[in-house]
Amino acid sequence: MLAMLDRGAKEIVQVKEVQDALVLKRRNPDWLLFGERDGEPPVGFDHGNSPVEASGLSLHGRTTILRTSAGSAGIWAMRHIKEIVIASFANAEAVVRYLKKNTGPDAEVTLAAIGKEAVERAPEDDLCAQYILDRLLDTSVDYGAIKAQLLASHTAQRLRNRDQQDDLDFCLRLDIFDTVPRVHWGEKGAVVR
């Protein structure tokens, strides 16, 4: 999502299921369809879920549709939450600044580590949530140690096995985006801007 917005996407419509994405694409053929199922782009999708691939596209003013195994399910599961912001290592500092500026001392902030397919814990999500929490609390944190742990994880190995080392490297770059995407609910459903 960060790479799409950085490349000029107007909005990202998040859908729950692959079929929902395909129906929405048929209704809006000029929208670009991104996503994955089990790490692979489903048949009929324009692009996968690779941030490296999205970073190479010109998306200025375009609406995109996104369906992922974990993120989409997580967003839809949290539809009752007042405000949802999208965070990763790539925009962690921007998220920390946003939360510090826009929440008071009594505010309740939940860091949801979505995990694998939104049902199984994933080290990258757990460590990112902990990293952001530490930054919110102004606790010293060693990102080098976190990165080393992530590079040794089963998730990193899965990406290497799929020849996605470039995506792995991209996702481990700290604070490369200053964007704080937020979910807006409306007639299109979940829209990230």
Q: What are the pLDDT digits (tens) for 119-150?
A: 899 999 999 999 999 999 999 999 999 999 99
Q: Are 35 and 49 in contact (CB under 8 A)?
A: yes
H-helix or E-strand containing 171?
Answer: helix 165-171
Residue 186 maps to a domain: yes
Judgement on whether residues 34 and 106 belong to the same structural domain of the protein: no
CATH number at residue 54: 3.90.1560.10
Judgement on whether residues 63 and 96 belong to the same structural domain of the protein: no
Residue 165 maps to a domain: yes
Judgement on whether residues 130 and 188 belong to the same structural domain of the protein: no
Query: What's this model's pTM, rounded to 2 decimal places?
Result: 0.95
Judgement on whether residues 38 and 97 belong to the same structural domain of the protein: no
DSSP 8-state assignment for residue 89: G
Q: What is the pLDDT of residue 191?
A: 98
Residue 176 maps to a domain: no
Q: What is the mean pLDDT of residues 6-32?
A: 97
Residue 167 maps to a domain: yes
DSSP 8-state assignment for residue 115: -
Domain range enclosing 127: 85-171
Average pLDDT of the chain, as a whole number: 96
Question: What is the band of 39 on the pLDDT scale with cuts at 50, 70, 90?
Answer: confident
Q: Is 42 helix (H, G, I), strand (E, B) or coil?
A: coil
Judgement on whether residues 151 and 186 belong to the same structural domain of the protein: no
CB atoms < 10 A from the CB of 178, how many? 11
Judgement on whether residues 105 and 147 belong to the same structural domain of the protein: yes
Alpha helix segments (H runs only) across the chain: 2-6, 18-27, 51-55, 71-77, 92-102, 123-136, 143-151, 154-161, 165-171
Q: Is 187 helix (H, G, I), strand (E, B) or coil?
A: coil
The domain total for the chain is: 2
Write out pLDDT tens, residues 53-106.
999 999 999 999 999 999 999 999 999 999 999 999 999 999 999 999 999 888
Question: What is the band of 154 on the pLDDT scale with cuts at 50, 70, 90?
Answer: very high
